[in-house]
Amino acid sequence: MRALNWKEATGVLAVLLVLLGLPLVLWHWRVAVVAHRYSPGTKVITMTAVADGGIWTLDEVVGYNYWRKKPTRVNEIPLNQGDHVVMRLRSADLLHSFAIPLLHLGPVDVPAGHTVELEFTADRAGVLTFLCWQVCSPEHPNLRGRFIVKGNNKEESW
């Protein structure tokens, strides 16, 4: 058996560094950089649209678990009056579109495999319905949910 020369050893080391280092860099970017780019107190909500079943979910739905895992439908998301919210929207399968009609927010296209961000402030108490605007499947009418904004009763509501 022949020994590796320095060029082969350097090549093997470079491949190992890429295979081990790239996932660590991506994990650090996702956990440390993305989470800290918003101002303190911002509520960051990541939702994924899935056409199969017509589901908006807070679960992570990606290629390796799309067929194996049944995501949990999110019907209501509690907020407090005055919350600044960043919505990170994803689509697991095809083109969806997100809107909050009462805020005149959207419709915003959410292409499959991409992340789209929307920001709003929940400045009044009440119920804000969100939905998919793009007809995406026979289950399209189920792609809806609502934010329940809690506040004091003296303030104006939606």
The structure tokens listed for 33 are: 């950089």
40-150 falls under which CATH superfamily? Cupredoxins -  blue copper proteins (2.60.40.420)
Q: Average of pLDDT values for 47-57? A: 85
pLDDT of residue 140: 75
Q: What is the pLDDT of residues 95-112, one digit of tens each?
A: 889 999 988 887 999 998
Residue 66 pLDDT greater than 90, yes or no: no
Q: Check pLDDT > 80 for residue 152.
A: no
Burial of 103 (0-12, 13-18, 19+ CB in 10 A): middle
Whole-number pLDDT of residue 88: 92
From the list 71, 49, 46, 60, the residue with the least C-alpha distance to 142 is: 49
User: β-strands 144-150, 76-80: how paired?
Assistant: parallel
**Are the C-beta atoms of residues 96 and 136 closer than 8 Å to each other?**
yes
Tokens coding 83: 């919350």
Looking at residue 148, its pLDDT comes to 93
- Structural domain boundaries in the chain: 1-37, 40-150
